[in-house]
Amino acid sequence: MSTRSGKLVIIGGAEDKKNDMTILREVVRLAGGKHARIVVMTVATELPIEVGADYIEVFDTIGVADVRMFDVSTREAANAKSAIKAIEDATCVFFTGGDQVRVTKLLGGTKMDAALHERHESGLLLAGTSAGASMMSSTMIVSGISETNPKIGIVEMAPGMEFISGVVIDQHFAQRGRFGRLFSAVAQYPHHMGLGIDENTAMIVDGLEFTVIGAGAVNVIDAGALTHSNIEDVSKGDDLALCGIKVHILPSGYGFHLRDRTTIARQRGVDNE
């Protein structure tokens, strides 16, 4: 279990962009406030102009003077000098939603990938929402069936971008009924913790701890104390039995220690949005 030196803001999607904008304001604060230099990475979406313009407008409203979009639609673009320059100059790289497979397919192993990890190790803030959240981990959910109980074969997994290890992240969690598919993912990878993030909710990862902000909760599924699973005895589509798993539901202000697998009590003065 490890994270890089820079903080991560991992957002469950559909973050508020019109009212209090609690999560995006926190991204700006962590990125340097009025001195922030934010690069909006639209690599995950097939609508980069529309999505990028939306975030540029929001960050401009918050007061960021230096915010720009960078799109990667080919691996050649991710190896260009302009890509490296964009990462070198930023205080925050913000990954939008879309399809997490596009992120790994277009960035994985490129010079931009290397620059992101190098800068993050030296303190660069990385933020991502929806697909931009799922791709943060070393193992990510690619697709899966929602609104079902845990079953064999309802979730597809693949390597992620490896900004945080030892976890599997799912987003739009409560809103799209993704409990079953995250339990199924953890059953396949019991050494990983499942992190299900609700919409308009974020976990801020600092070293080996994270704190929750926003309107919903982060659901932690810990199979470390698993006492029984029937995963080896059933076939695709069959129901899973999982005994002894711990589940923590953490709203705004609560936190979690990723190595010790222990909760951190609600911080005083933190409002549950």
Q: Which residues pair with 193 in a beta bridge?
A: 167
Q: Tokens standing for 106?
A: 């277009």
Q: Is 273 designated active site?
A: no
Q: Is 172 designated active site?
A: yes
Rounded-to-integer distance, Cα 212 and Cα 206, Å? 11
Kindly give the interhelix angle for 100-107 and 111-121, rounded to the nearest 10 degrees: 100
Closest to 171 (Cα-Cα) out of 202, 150, 147: 202
Q: Is 199 designated active site?
A: yes
Exactly one of 130, 134, 184, 229 is catalytic; name it: 130
Exactly one of 162, 172, 192, 229 is catalytic; name it: 172
Residue 218 in contact with residue 250, Cβ under 8 Å?
A: yes
Exactly one of 15, 199, 229, 252 is catalytic; name it: 199
Strand arrangement, sheet containing 37-41: 66-70, 37-41, 92-95, 125-129, 8-11, 201-206, 209-214, 255-257, 262-264
Q: In Å, how far from its chain's centre is CA 11?
A: 6
Phi, psi of 103 (to 5 degrees): -65, -50
Give the catalytic positions in this structure: 130, 172, 199
